[in-house]
Amino acid sequence: MLTVVGMGPSGLHLMTPAAREAIDHADALAGGARHLQQFPAFGGESFTLGANIPELLGWIAARQERRVVVMASGDPLFYGIGTRLVAHFGAEHVRIIPGISAVQYLCAQAGIDMNEMWLTSSHGRRVCFDELARHHKVAMVTDGLCGPREIAAQLIARGKGYRWMVIGENLAMENEAIHWLPVSEVHNEYAMNAVVILDER
Ligand SMILES: C[S@@+](CC[C@H](N)C(=O)[O-])C[C@H]1O[C@@H](n2cnc3c(N)ncnc32)[C@H](O)[C@@H]1O
């Protein structure tokens, strides 16, 4: 049985009890290095996940009779590995345990409701900035190639420099930082982050 658990933004305390229980009962555990490090006492087989998704698919397929758990950052089905695993193995063969996404956590920390919010990602993908600029309330996960500064430049080019960007860096970690800035003043590089873009503060 394949289970994909949402790990939340960081830290065991932000995982659901269901996710913790699935890992406790796993025969084999896959996930990024930062997630595997959270379970140093795990005694079963493990697989370190990076860009090696084809290898992961083969590793899972070879363990169909085992309790395999894949750890996904945040929520597995919000721009996460869960989508790929459901597409590959079929929804009936994958149990998904949801988690708190980086975007949800940032909204909670910043006191921003998620009503009518448009959700997207620039993590390893191209964003349609014309569409993004049309929305009044946007939240997204990002990556090092297309982060707050690049997103701000695209919005400024579309006359949206007056908007506000809320940048959540290293969320739920010791060095968490949340910055509220007018889009026109977003010039810096930030560590791992999610952002919310608002028409007004
Ligand atoms: C592949 S996406 C996964 C998103 C994840 N499924 C979720 O629900 O948050 C990875 C991106 O999520 C965001 N992210 C994940 N954990 C984060 C954290 N603790 N702090 C800030 N951003 C985070 C970053 O934008 C990172 O590049």
Instruction: Give yes or no for residue 117 having a pLDDT over 90.
Output: yes
Kindly give the number of the ligand 1 atom that is closest to the alpha carbon of 102. Answer: 9
Instruction: Give yes or no for residue 106 having a pLDDT over 90.
Output: yes
pLDDT digits (tens, 9 = 90+) for 151-194: 999 999 999 999 999 999 999 999 999 999 999 999 999 999 99
Band (pLDDT 50/70/90 cuts) for residue 71 is very high
At 50 the pLDDT is 94
Enumerate long-range contacts of 36-42, CB under 8 Å, 24 or more apart: 36/71, 38/12
From residue 79, give the alpha-carbon distance in Å to each of 67, 69, 160.
24, 18, 25
Q: Is 123 in the pocket of ligand 1 (CB under 6 A)?
A: yes
Identify the residue whose C-alpha is closest to ligand 1 atom 16.
Answer: 9
The pTM of this model reads 0.96
In this structure, the number of other CB atoms found within 10 A of the CB of residue 161 comes to: 15
Band (pLDDT 50/70/90 cuts) for residue 200 is confident
Spacing, Cα 79 to ligand 1 middle (Å): 9
Instruction: Give yes or no for residue 37 having a pLDDT over 90.
Output: yes
Spacing, Cα 32 to ligand 1 middle (Å): 12
At 189 the pLDDT is 96
Q: Is 98 in the pocket of ligand 1 (CB under 6 A)?
A: no
At 201 the pLDDT is 84
Rounded to whole angstroms, the Cα distance separating 82 from 105 reads 19
**Cβ-count burial 48-70 (b if 16+ within 10 Å, e if not):** ebeeeeeebeebbeebeeebbbb
pLDDT, mean of residues 43-69: 97
